[in-house]
Amino acid sequence: MALVEFRSVSKRYQRVVALDQVSARILEGSCTAVVGPNGSGKTTLIKLLMGLAIPDSGTILFRGTDIRGKYAYRRHIAYMPQLSYFPANLRVSELFALLPRLRRQPANPNPLIERFGIHTYLHKRWGTLSGGMKQKVSLALALMFDVPLYVLDEPTNGLDPVATRDLIRLLTSMLNQGKTILFTGHVMAFVERIASHVIFLVEGKKYFEGALKELLTRTRTSSLEEAAVHLIMNHSGVQGLEVRPQPVRTES
């Protein structure tokens, strides 16, 4: 069953086409990675789902309902942006207290604070944190809510190997509990460890959507990194396998 569905979604920023007739489904209980080269439209797809941008055409459904002009559905989503912006003078402890009040939802940050070692800098102000520290806090702020869908934009940016390992273990546990995860990523090894499904974008067009195993079979490769290279090279006309943009799904 699809928790989220994109139907022929397009978005343009002036002369730049960010997304071009993209259709995709996020299955309930799955972990779906949106991958592709820089500028392929990954973050735009996430922003459209979160209502942070409006599609020029097409429809986005959450649990079968069109989200256009609606905002209540976001209570069922925990979102981590690619870059989090908070007032520089707020302490980390204040952020963990503030967000549940803003969302009017309970949260359980303590296990995440311990897992990512955040307890050592709860007293620090947001503006003084390093990039890696901010990333750990941003992850904890998103994952501390009990919701059906977690949307993470480049969650591994700036993470050290230990934190990345801990994130993999945490997301795996969440999936075992029936949660749904949608994330963008460029570290193919991380995507392979956690994702069951992949949406591959190149210059705003969808070149693949489906199970990770299907992508490897289709491209005759043994790793996602090799499959991605084949898709990108084929798109640019250099060389590679015969892989074309997948057709737009029509609804009956």
pLDDT at 4: 98
Phi-psi region of 16 (alpha: psi -120 to 50; beta: other; left: phi over 0): beta
State the residue for tokens 């307890």.
119
HSE-CB at 198 with a 13 A cutoff on CA atoms is: 27
Query: In the chain, count of helices (H) and strands (E)?
Result: 8, 10
Please identify, in words, the CATH class of the domain defined by 2-86+147-236: alpha beta
State the residue for tokens 């952020």.
95
Q: Where are the domains of the chain?
A: 2-86+147-236
Phi-psi region of 197 (alpha: psi -120 to 50; beta: other; left: phi over 0): beta
Higher pLDDT, 238 or 166: 166
The whole-angstrom separation of Cα 19 and Cα 54 is 12
Work out the average pLDDT over 96-117.
95
pLDDT at 235: 61
Digit-coded pLDDT (tens) for 46-58: 999 999 999 999 9
Digit-coded pLDDT (tens) for 144-191: 999 999 999 999 999 999 999 999 999 999 999 999 999 999 888 999
Tell me how many degrees the CA angle 200-185-70 measures, rounded to the nearest 5: 80
pLDDT at 175: 96
